Amino acid sequence: MFRQSRWDEPLIFELGNKGRKGFIVPEPEEEVKRKVGGIRIPEKILRKKPPNLPEVSEVEVIRHYTRLTEMSYGVDNGPVPLGSCTMKYNPRIAWEISNDYRINMLHPLQDERTIQGLLEILYELQKWLANITGMDYCSLHPAAGAHGEFSGILIIRKYHELKKQLDRKSEIIIPDSAHGTNPASASMGGFKVVEVPSGEDGNIDMEALKSVVGESTAGLMITNPSTLGLFEENVVEISKIIHGVDGLLYYDGANLNGIMGYTRPGDMGFDIAHINIHKTFGAPHGGGGPGAGPVCVKDKLIDEERNIWLRDLLPGYRVVYDEKTGLYKLVNNEKYSIGLLKAFFGNIVPLIWGYTYILMLGSKGLRTVTEQAVLNTNYFISLVKDIRGYDIPYGKDRYRKHEVVLSAKPLYDDTGVSAEDVAKGLLDAGFYAPTIYFPLIVHEALMTEFTESETIEYIEKYAERLQEISTIAYSDPEKAKEWPLNTSVRRVDNVRANHPKTLAPTWRIYMEKVCRKYSEC
Amino acid sequence: MDSHPWIPNSTREIREKMLEKIGVKNIDEFFNDIPRNIRISKEEWDNLEIGLKKPISEITARRIIEEKLSMNKVFVPLLFLGGGAYPHYVPSVIKYLISRGEFLTSYTPYQPEISQGILQALFEYQSLMAELLDMDVVNSSMYDWASALAEALLMSLRVKKNKKKILLPSNMNPIHKRVVNTYLSPHNVRIEYVNYNHDTGLIDLEDLKNKIDNDTAAVYVQSPNFFGYIEENAKEIGEIVHDIDSLFIMGIDPISLGLIKPPGELGADIAVGEGQPLGLGLNYGGPYLGIFATRMDMKLVRQMPGRIIGLTRSVDGSRAFTMILQTREQHIRRAKATSNICTNEALSAIAAAIYLALLGKSGIRKLAELIYYRSHYAQARLREIGLNTDIFKSDFFKEFPINFDNIGVKYRYVHEKLLENNIHGGLYIGNWFPELGETALYAFTEIHTKNDIDLLVEKLADIINELKR
């Protein structure tokens, strides 16, 4: 039976003892001190009260955070079938390489001639990503998928600006099954979001799409396969419709793991695509980041007279190879580029993971990744499709790609046991839960993605647990409300967490405002 | 393909078993819904230049990458570049702890009951950072300083709804200016720059007073500023900003706060900064850590971008942690979210938390003092060999500009000469600040010993002497 560690671990502020330290800071050399004389920072800006940081020894720090890892769960612990998050195995060789001092010690403003090895790696990665997506040029600059989306939206904006039609190009079309980052990015880019519904088959409702496309359409953002795990079969027609009004098509690469080697965004008609290195290419998610979200474009002539191409709009710097000098160098078309979205080149460490992952699999291996991810999903469906209480909306018999959305609505209607209860029941058995209540168009949604790296044994155990949860729900629904019992804590009080009176976003606020009121300290 | 170590079900037996259960003959059937005309054929795909086309072993891959990495030149500790990223020492404990799989391979803790450890670690990051900054609410990370600043400005425009102007200091990081321009470009905002005093290097208060008006949503101040100089009038600036009901945003170097008054004490409404100095490597620019903090004022907190972890209880009364105020975020609020940020820099935040815990109350002060001494020692020594190290007459921390106009060559020449001696000199800033002439910004931290500094001074003296001859 699964049992997660349950330490009564204090906060770091509650540990330690006066005068203890976890790290020795060297003393300045005598001559250094003598020459400088003393600290001359004006009184009015000199910090008088030291920050209230803990006083802990090195061993206490190690034990504390080790215990916290024991109360954490990642892919190394077991399956994390969070749909659309693509939680695959993170090869350790990539971690070791990304920790090489010849990467860690390079300053982002260091002379280009002294980082030729790194630039060659990045140059190759750009090329590989362009080949994988069927695009022409990539920028490795964005720090995450949503950062890539924001870049894409700004490219769409700049495109219309350069064509002097931005005043009427004010809308971005996004299907209702899209990730929340899509509408949020479009909105940050100053566009109005127009949502189109999905039809009964899970594809975009084409009639609805046609009715909203018009002069004001600046572009469209979709994932393909969608969050339902379904391939958007009308993608070519959609692309014709959007291009027909001079809109650009944006490909959200979050679900690329389901099609690599079979089709490419560039071939489907997309103009811009981002890639999640921390999904498709095996970089770990680190509890929420860092990631890397390169953005790629199909090269397209924007202005013949001024010779402006879509590639000129890319953010940050691209690595190019200069035949004449035999050196790699960084270029940025300052005149037309949408600019910088972060201070420096990009998130190198995840990019190195991605490079290693792609290098070690090659095109052939990447297609195997897709095949196995899809096979795993459909195998899972075959195990759960007849379990009482779960439904598979948008066609039980249509094959899914990288993921599948189950609906626990029948279970909820029959027993009162919700998708959240199912999730907690999975945690209790030592699995991470699927993404729940998303996409919003599916009631009691359980969005499940195993990726290529899950074993058949675990997929079967997961399905067995879903069966068990169903059986318990129908016989003793109250028991399902008790889950989880085997995790570090029982169900968390989210109402208290968010209530203005008990809101505690930091230790100091908790100590000042909350703990005394509730006699907790 | 043979079975692959990362793809455990890729053996013939397992695949056949799975296909049989599903009731399909071969894997290609799953892809039949992809229209023919947009498919890529197996042959075409296999021949694309992607990696080495075929899978290779770890042994081979390591060789290939090692060969490339050997073409990089590492100058640390003889690297004196700053400008927003700094060579600092990373204690061993940090890399060890953040490489533990439970932290490294986990996802955003959407299921709190099984993710308490990472939630607590992130809550501790927020709490430790709050103490360092003397601010109340800290989010659990942005991409980097520049993007945190850009989002702080966007947030100000939401908080001060009808105001359309932003005041930025002309002595801020010019790279950050570019990032701000990108983020703000879709919005109807006026950006104006406040001059700096060419004598002190600090914000010109008179110019600020002239430029600030009722339409100003926010005023930003960077301290230490781009030249490394400490904005000693920060408190007065805050008062001027608050008098006109506008928000005061401060950009800081977290390590400087061991010596310098924190933004909370100086009246900042929002504080942003770069967490890279706190136990992260240089990594050629990323991943870094965008620090973002506000006062505990719900008008501000509700408009904050990013993820926030809160302390609460479980149903049986034990202490527990969970993500809070999620209705601000994109996965719930969609087009009306405060930001689109989703994947952030959580692991970097944990690294910074461990760093702050290791250094503790007195360590951060001692480190700031050490850096102060080292950088001022460098200044004194460079002054002695005839370099102009006193462009500004106030006090600095960690970095300062050196003017090379008096030696009769472009800075580029000095840079090349230093490279020949395996030293990477500072950052040339003459193109950003033409009024400063041939000037470069040099940074000194705890990794630079007296000997390292002496060596730099010696080489620079040689270059100067050679030119005199």
pLDDT digits (tens, 9 = 90+) for B285-316: 999 999 999 999 999 999 999 999 999 999 99
State the Cα–Cα distance between residues A409 and B420, nearest whole angstrom. 70
H/E segment holding residue A267: helix A265-268
Is A521 an 8 Å CB contact of chain B? Answer: no
Phi/psi for B428 (5° steps) reads -70, 125
Is A471 an 8 Å CB contact of chain B? Answer: no
Q: Which residue of B has its CA nearest to A452?
A: B7
CA of residue B452 relative to chain centroid, distance: 26
Phi-psi region of B245 (alpha: psi -120 to 50; beta: other; left: phi over 0): left
Instruction: Report the residue from A32, A134, A505 with minimal CB separation from B450.
Output: A32
List, for residues A19-72, the tens digit of each pLDDT value.
999 999 999 999 999 999 999 999 999 999 999 999 999 999 999 999 999 999
Residues 6+ apart with CB under 8 A from B270: B152, B155, B156, B218, B247, B248, B249, B250, B292, B293, B294, B300
Q: Contacts of residue B419 in chain A, CB cutoff 8 Å?
A: 111, 114
Residue A361 lies in a domain: no
Residue B13 tokens, joined: 């037996």
- For residue A159, the model assigns a pLDDT of 98
- Return the CATH number at A321: 3.40.640.10
Test the A interface: residue of B72, B93, B147 with most A CBs within 10 Å: B72
Q: How many CB pairs under 8 A join A and B?
A: 733
- For residue A200, the model assigns a pLDDT of 87
- For residue B196, the model assigns a pLDDT of 98
Q: What is the DSSP letter of B49?
A: -
Phi/psi for A328 (5° steps) reads -85, 145
ipTM: 0.98
H/E segment holding residue B157: helix B145-159
> Which residue reads 């490489």 in tokens?
B99
Helix, strand, or coil here: B288? Answer: coil
Residues A147 and A108 both lie in one domain: yes
Shortest distance between the Cα of A302 and any Cα of chain B, in A, equals 20
Q: Which domain holds residue A379?
A: 370-494
Write the DSSP assignment of B164-194 as a string of letters.
-EEEEETTS-HHHHHHHHHHHTTS--EEEEE
Predicted confidence band at B1 (pLDDT cuts at 50, 70, 90)?
Answer: low
Contact: A25, B363; criterion CB under 8 Å: yes
- For residue A520, the model assigns a pLDDT of 78
Length of chain B in terms of residues written: 469
Contact: A120, B68; criterion CB under 8 Å: yes
Helix, strand, or coil here: B232? Answer: coil
Predicted confidence band at B172 (pLDDT cuts at 50, 70, 90)?
Answer: very high
> Which residue reads 């462009």 in tokens?
B391
Q: Contacts of residue B369 in chain A, CB cutoff 8 Å?
A: 28, 39
Contact: B37, A58; criterion CB under 8 Å: no
CATH hierarchy code of domain B92-356: 3.40.640.10
Phi/psi for A232 (5° steps) reads -75, 100
Predicted confidence band at B193 (pLDDT cuts at 50, 70, 90)?
Answer: very high
CATH hierarchy code of domain B360-468: 3.90.1150.10
Residues A308 and A178 both lie in one domain: yes
Residue A81 lies in a domain: no
Contact: A180, B116; criterion CB under 8 Å: no
Residues A376 and A313 both lie in one domain: no
Residue B75 tokens, joined: 């100058």
Q: Contacts of residue B318 in chain A, CB cutoff 8 Å?
A: 8, 489-490
Residues A347 and A467 both lie in one domain: no
Residues A384 and A484 both lie in one domain: yes
Q: How far is CA B417 from CA A116, A295, A393, B413, B430, in A?
A: 20, 38, 69, 6, 18
Asked if A172 and A192 count as a contact pair (C-beta separation under 8 A), the reply is yes
Residues 6+ apart with CB under 8 A from A411: A388, A389, A390, A417, A422, A444, A470, A473
Pairing label, strands A192-196, A217-222: unpaired
Taking only residues 331 to 350 of chain A, the set having a beta carbon closer than 8 angstroms to any beta carbon of chain B reads: 338-350
Helix, strand, or coil here: B446? Answer: coil
Contact: A364, B260; criterion CB under 8 Å: no
Q: Which residue of B has its CA nearest to A451?
A: B7
Is A421 an 8 Å CB contact of chain B? Answer: no
Q: For chain B, which residues make up each domain, given as ranges?
A: 12-56, 92-356, 360-468
pTM: predicted TM-score of the whole model, two decimal places: 0.98
Q: Which residue of B has its CA nearest to A313?
A: B182
Residue A247 lies in a domain: yes
Instruction: Report the residue from B175, B287, B314 with minimal CB separation from A290.
Output: B287
Residue A513 lies in a domain: no
Q: Please calculate the CA angle A56-A61-A64 and round it to the nearest 5 degrees.
A: 115
Burial class (CB in 10 A: 0-12, 13-18, 19+), B350: buried
Residues A385 and A454 both lie in one domain: yes
Q: What is the mean pLDDT of residues B213-232?
A: 98
Instruction: Report the residue from A51, A401, A454 with minimal CB separation from B131.
Output: A51
List, for residues B43-64, the tens digit of each pLDDT value.
999 999 999 999 999 999 999 9
- Return the CATH number at A477: 3.90.1150.10
Pairing label, strands B399-403, B439-443: antiparallel
Phi/psi for A154 (5° steps) reads -70, -30
Taking only residues 371 to 410 of chain A, the set having a beta carbon closer than 8 angstroms to any beta carbon of chain B reads: 371-372, 374-376, 378-379, 381-383, 398-399, 401
The end-to-end CA distance of chain B, in Å, is: 69
Residues A448 and A396 both lie in one domain: yes
- For residue B375, the model assigns a pLDDT of 98
Asked if B436 and B403 count as a contact pair (C-beta separation under 8 A), the reply is yes
Shortest distance between the Cα of B112 and any Cα of chain A, in A, equals 7
Residues A317 and A394 both lie in one domain: no
Residues A280 and A395 both lie in one domain: no
Q: Contacts of residue A31 in chain B, CB cutoff 8 Å?
A: 377, 450
Question: What is the SS3 assignment for A186-247?
Answer: HHHCCCEEEEECECCCCCECHHHHHHHCCCCEEEEEECCCCCCCCCCCCHHHHHHHHHHCCC
Burial class (CB in 10 A: 0-12, 13-18, 19+), A216: middle
Residues A171 and A277 both lie in one domain: yes
Residue A227 lies in a domain: yes
Q: Which residue of A has its CA nearest to B86?
A: A107
Residue A219 tokens, joined: 């572009």
**Residue B107's closest CA among B96, B99, B119?**
B119
Q: B428: which strand partners?
A: B440
Residues A480 and A384 both lie in one domain: yes
Write the DSSP assignment of B76-102 as a string of letters.
TTSB---SS-------HHHHHHHTSHH
Residue B451 tokens, joined: 């000997």
Residues A279 and A309 both lie in one domain: yes
List, for residues A317-376, the tens digit of each pLDDT value.
999 999 999 999 999 998 999 999 999 999 999 999 999 999 999 999 999 999 999 999
Contact: B340, A150; criterion CB under 8 Å: yes
Q: What is the DSSP letter of B425?
A: -
Q: A248: which strand partners?
A: A219
Helix, strand, or coil here: B152? Answer: helix
**Residue A26's closest CA among B367, B294, B87, B372?**
B367
State the Cα–Cα distance between residues A148 and A253, nearest whole angstrom. 10
Cis peptide before A42 (omega within 30 of 0): no
Residue A242 lies in a domain: yes
Residue A365 lies in a domain: no
- The low-confidence residues of chain A, meaning pLDDT below 50, are none
- For residue B2, the model assigns a pLDDT of 75
Pairing label, strands A248-252, A272-274: parallel
